[in-house]
Amino acid sequence: MRRRLPTLAILSLPATRLSAENRKLYVYLYAMFRESMVKPTYAKEITALLVIDPYNDFISEGGKLWDRIKGVAEANHCVPNMLQVLKAARAAGLRVFYALHHRYRPGDYETWKYIAPIQKAGWMRKSFEYGTWGGEIRAGFEPKPGDVVATEHWCSSGFANTDLDLQLKKHGIHQLIVIGLIAHTCVESTVRFAAELGYEVTMVKDATADYSDQEMHAALDINLPNYANAMVTTAEVVDSIASLSTSDKKGWRTQALHENENESGAEG
C-alpha cells in the first residue's frame, strides 16, 4: 500500500511521479497554493472597474441570450454579484469603464467579405440590436456621469478596434477589476488583451457567466489564470475595495489632525 506523502513533498515532485491518490491531492493543493499566493491590493488612483456587456439580451429575463446562460448565471448569482461589485466600486470612488459589444444595426455585416463565426451568430440573432430593449444596458448597471464608455467592440475583445486602451491610459489606470459576460468569449478575450498591453487584471470569477459549466471551467480554471493576476470571488474583491474607502477616511482624519495641530502651534 502506497503511503500519502507530506504536503511539501507532494508539491515539490512532478505530478507524473505521484501515485493516483497523491496526484489528486497534488491538483487540490496546487489550486489552493495558487489562490493563497495571490491576494490583490489596489491603489485607488490607478484602479478601475471594467464592466463587460451588461446588456438586457444577456442578463435580463426575456433577453435573446438569457435562456442560454440562465442555468450558470443563477447558480453562481452572477447578476447580483456584478451589481454588488459595481456598487462597491462606486462607493469607493473607483472610476468605472464599460466595454460594450457592438449593437446590431441593419447593414452591418451584409457587405463583409470575411466574418468570424461568433460575428455571424450575432448577425443571425441580431444580438443587442440597436434601438431595442435587448440592446439596452440592464437597469441598475447604467453608466453614470464620470464613467467612461469605450467605443463598441465588433468581435470579442473590448480592446480590439476600440478606444478602451487609450481611455484607460489617459485616466492613469493600470489595475483592472473585471466583471461581465461571456466568460469564454468577450471576458476571456478582453483579459488576455489587457495582459498583452501590460495591465494588472483581477477577474471576479462569480461575477461572470457562460452557456455551460464546461465553458465556465475552460475559461476560469484553465485559460484565465494564465492572464489574470488574481482570480477572486465577489466577497473577496468587495472586501478589498471597501478597504480603499477605509484608507481614505483614515487619511482624511490624519490630515485633519495634523492641520489642527499646526493651527494650534501657530496660535501659540
d(CA 68, CA 74): 11
Mean pLDDT for 233-251 is 81
Mean pLDDT for 88-99 is 97
Q: Which long-range contacts (CB under 8 A, 24 or more apart) does 191-195 make?
A: 191/224, 191/227, 191/228, 192/157, 192/223, 192/227, 193/157, 193/158, 193/159, 193/160, 194/159, 194/227, 195/227, 195/228
Grade residue 39 by pLDDT with cuts at 50, 70 and 90.
confident
pLDDT digits (tens, 9 = 90+) for 7-36: 445 445 555 666 676 666 666 666 655 554
C-alpha separations of 42 from 45, 48, 94, 193 in Å = 9, 9, 10, 20
Residue 32 has a pLDDT of 58
CATH of domain 42-264: 3.40.50.850
Residue 12 has a pLDDT of 52
Grade residue 1 by pLDDT with cuts at 50, 70 and 90.
very low
Grade residue 211 by pLDDT with cuts at 50, 70 and 90.
very high
Mean pLDDT for 62-88 is 97
Mean pLDDT for 61-86 is 98
d(CA 10, CA 23): 8
Q: Where in the chain is the domain with CATH 3.40.50.850?
A: 42-264
Q: Is 180 helix (H, G, I), strand (E, B) or coil?
A: strand
Residue 244 has a pLDDT of 86
Grade residue 4 by pLDDT with cuts at 50, 70 and 90.
low
Grade residue 166 by pLDDT with cuts at 50, 70 and 90.
very high
HSE toward the beta carbon, residue 74, CA cutoff 13 A:
8
Q: What percent of the chain has pLDDT over 70?
A: 77
Mean pLDDT for 210-235 is 97
pLDDT at 182 exceeding the cut of 60: yes
pLDDT at 136 exceeding the cut of 80: yes
User: pTM of the entire structure?
Assistant: 0.80
Grade residue 246 by pLDDT with cuts at 50, 70 and 90.
low
